[in-house]
Amino acid sequence: MDVFEALATRRSIRGFRPDPIPRAILEKILGAASRAPSGSNIQPWRVRVTTGAEKAALSLALRAAHDAGAKVERDYHYYPRIWREPYLARRRACGLGLYKLAGVARGDSAAAHEQRARNFDFFGAPVGLFFSIDRDMEQGSWLDTGMFLQSIMLAARAEGLDTCAQAAFCDHHDVVRAHLGIPDDQALVCGMSIGIADHDVPANALVTDREPLENFVTFGPEA
């Protein structure tokens, strides 16, 4: 798979097969992704890998916190505090498309709650990754970490695997910290499920739109 195919086929998968992923493959993916660029090569990212019984126990604790409505303040603001166009329409289109495929009717808060809860089961994936960064790092290092995340997702595609980056874990970063030993001086960036996509899961049919180049690219007069 070349990089263009990896980019074209990378999607947020919300249903995985339970097939285990060999540690050697995970190390290959993470090692390749470590070549991601970072300012002055400081490589600010940290990764915690969880599988098996540890992941199962974490899932139970996360689900309990989710059911109890026990959100904590996130380490950072992911979305804008005030939504406006065109971003609001794009967000709504993504959410409506996902919920339609997942069979969640508009206004069905119980079904929406259950769909969101699937985040905390890693959508059935055998491997969970958690990414953190030292709190004294600045915005540039967060950009670096984002490039590292994308590198993981593309390397996973090269190995025939799929991923879902999940900021939902940040609502319960206290639970994640307690189970995985992530210290308080690190901010939790997000989690990620990784495994083999289960194409029988309806939500995996979601393919989100992308804006045409003319909507976000400006070429100079000599380009």
Residue type, 93: A
pLDDT of residue 223: 85
Whether 48 is covered by a domain: the verdict is: yes
Question: CATH number for the domain including 158?
Answer: 3.40.109.10
Sign of the alpha-carbon dihedral angle for 98, 168, 171, 83: negative
Whether 86 is covered by a domain: the verdict is: no
Please tell me the total count of domains within the chain. 1
pLDDT in tens, the chain (223 residues): 899 999 999 999 999 999 999 999 999 999 999 999 999 999 999 999 999 999 999 999 999 999 999 999 999 999 999 999 999 999 999 999 999 999 999 999 999 999 999 999 999 999 999 999 999 999 999 999 999 999 999 999 999 999 999 999 999 999 999 999 999 999 999 999 999 999 999 999 999 999 999 999 999 999 8
Residue 55 to residue 130: CA distance in whole angstroms? 11
In order, the DSSP letters of 140-159 are HHHHHHHHHHHHHHHHHHHT
Whether 163 is covered by a domain: the verdict is: yes
Residue type, 172: H
